[in-house]
Amino acid sequence: GQNIDQPTEMTATEGAIVQINCTYQTSGFNGLFWYQQHAGEAPTFLSYNVLDGLEEKGRFSSFLSRSKGYSYLLLKELQMKDSASYLCAVLDSNYQLIWGAGTKLIIKP
């Protein structure tokens, strides 16, 4: 079967750095997405990786290793507004998105 694993919940301090990991086992791979979802709201796009390596976008960076079936989202200079769930999703061989259950990130002052 297809599987996306993320930690259920993480806690970090305002101003710090946090890394959210995602491991996947899917039938094929055509890219990996990260989305942010605030409580009670819709998911919004953060990043898309299809090649190995690190993609940096402001305070957020996303890393992919296809050989290890692994990605992480790195958030720097954490702000209270970063408190949200972070969803990892993989595009499989049929170009269907397989979603992880999400990681709830709690930021403490």
Partner 1 sequence: NAGVTQTPKFRVLKTGQSMTLLCAQDMNHEYMYWYRQDPGMGLRLIHYSVGEGTTAKGEVPDGYNVSRLKKQNFLLGLESAAPSQTSVYFCASAGQGATDTQYFGPGTRLTVL
> Which is nearer to partner 1, 78 or 87 (by Cβ)?
87
Residues contacting partner 1: total by CB under 8 A? 22
Q: Which of residues 21-60 bind partner 1 (CB under 8 A)?
A: 30-31, 33, 41-45, 48, 50
Cβ atoms of 12 and 105 closer than 8 Å: yes
Provide the sign of the torsion angle of the four alpha carbons 63, 57, 30, 34, taken in this order.
positive
Cβ atoms of 99 and 15 closer than 8 Å: no
69 binds partner 1 (CB under 8 A): no
98 binds partner 1 (CB under 8 A): yes
- In this structure, what is the dihedral angle of CA atoms 71, 62, 2, 8, given to the nearest 10 degrees? 80
Contact residues for partner 1, defined by CB under 8 A:
4, 30-31, 33, 41-45, 48, 50, 87, 89, 91, 95-102
